[in-house]
Structure 1
Amino acid sequence: MLEKKLQNDVVNTGKDDIVYVNKDGSRLSPEIAKLIRDSGYQLSDVALMLIEAVAAELGNPDSFTARHKINEISKSFPYHHRTLANRDSLGTGPKEHINIGKYKFYRNLSILEMLCKDLCK
């Protein structure tokens, strides 16, 4: 699975969550590690590094990010904000969102889930 493919060390913190520690010492948050582990995504090392970078720039996985500001907040996010708008109209964008006026806000964990799904192809 993920541990074997990426040859990561799995560290038990004494809680129910598992923290994935990469060779360079970087860590995934428990929410993102759970997302990858439970969904069964097979990600390459480069894809995992991209997800880590985007997750670190977005911050708390439970907060929301404005679609029109995503490229300013996360410089390593691979899609333009208009690509997300097009994917919304196709039904393939992030699943969890709220609308405030004319602006759309995505839950950060939903953005990362969409990114995991795209990068495992």
Structure 2
Amino acid sequence: MALTSQAAHADPKPTKSEVKAKVDKLYHEAEEATEKYNGAKEQQDKLKKQADALQDKVARGQDELNTLRGELGSLATAQYRSGGLDPSVQLLLSSDPDSFLDQASALDQ
């Protein structure tokens, strides 16, 4: 049986000052990581507030849009039932109000 003669090399035990330096370094790294986490958390909170505000604004805009659609639908229904636009609306939308009034006067006669 062949035996190899290798000396076992154990790492030397660190001194108290080396251990303290290593612990201090780890605390410093942990502190930096905590600061980065806190900064990211603050940014996330800020962005969440902005997103919530935008969602609220969109919801209010959607409500307003739905209200306007309902009003427009009612106006369209009324126009359909009455046979056309109200003359005052036609006058407001006319590109030449004088011509519109002349035509209206001729139709009345």
Q: TM-score, normalising length from structure 2? A: 0.18
More helix by share: 2
Q: TM-score, normalising length from structure 1? A: 0.16
More strand by share: 1
Higher relative contact order, structure no. (Cα contacts within 8 Å, ≥ 6 residues apart): 1
